[in-house]
Amino acid sequence: MNDYKYYADNGICDIQKGDFKNALENLNKSIELKNDWEISYFYRAVAHQAMENFDDAMLDYTKAIQLNEKMTDAYYNRAKIILSRKDIDNPNINSALKDLEKALELDEKFLDALYAAAAAHKKLGNYTKALEYLEKLIELEPEAVNARAFKKLLLQKYIK
């Protein structure tokens, strides 16, 4: 079989089934056949991320973005890895924010990216900026319970 899309599709199905090892095999084969298709790199990164191979995931998200700079989810996922890693003492939160800003530039209604940007700004002590992102999110999704709770926390504890 010489069809890169066939292997990519199988890899994506493997991811949906939670079979990340098999997903990697299929996506590696897809990339072997066509090494300039961002979709295979993106999903290989997703598999790596699920297996907590964060460095490999970061490399693949970066490659996907190099091949297609409009990969909104690749920016978001890369930022999420930076913000959630416990194995790094000083994560580069500004780098994560840059990725979240790019994701929001591509999709201004990306609710998860708005929430993540608010959380990142809180980590940096930029409480007013965090609040701006939460307000934008709540404006788009008035029922966003987590965002409302986060906003309340900011107002009560950090913004006087």
Helix axis angle, 93-106 to 72-84, nearest 10°: 160
Does the structure show a pLDDT above 80 at 51? Answer: yes
Instruction: Say which amino acid occupies 109.
Output: K
Q: What is the pLDDT of residues 99-137, one digit of tens each?
A: 999 999 999 999 999 999 999 999 999 999 999 999 999
Q: What domains lie within the chain, and their CATH numbers?
A: 1-68 (1.25.40.10), 96-160 (1.25.40.10)
Q: What average pLDDT does this structure show over 4-15?
A: 97
- The token duo for 119 is 């959380």
- What's this model's pTM, rounded to 2 decimal places? 0.93
Question: Coil, strand, or helix at residue 53?
Answer: coil
Does the structure show a pLDDT above 70 at 1? Answer: no
Q: What average pLDDT does this structure show over 42-58?
A: 97
The whole-chain average pLDDT of the chain stands at: 96
Distance CA 29, CA 1 (A): 10
Query: What is the helix (H) or strand (E) element at residue 5, kind and residue range?
Result: helix 4-17
Whole-number pLDDT of residue 86: 82
- The token duo for 152 is 């309340």
Distance CA 21, CA 80 (A): 22
Question: Coil, strand, or helix at residue 146?
Answer: helix
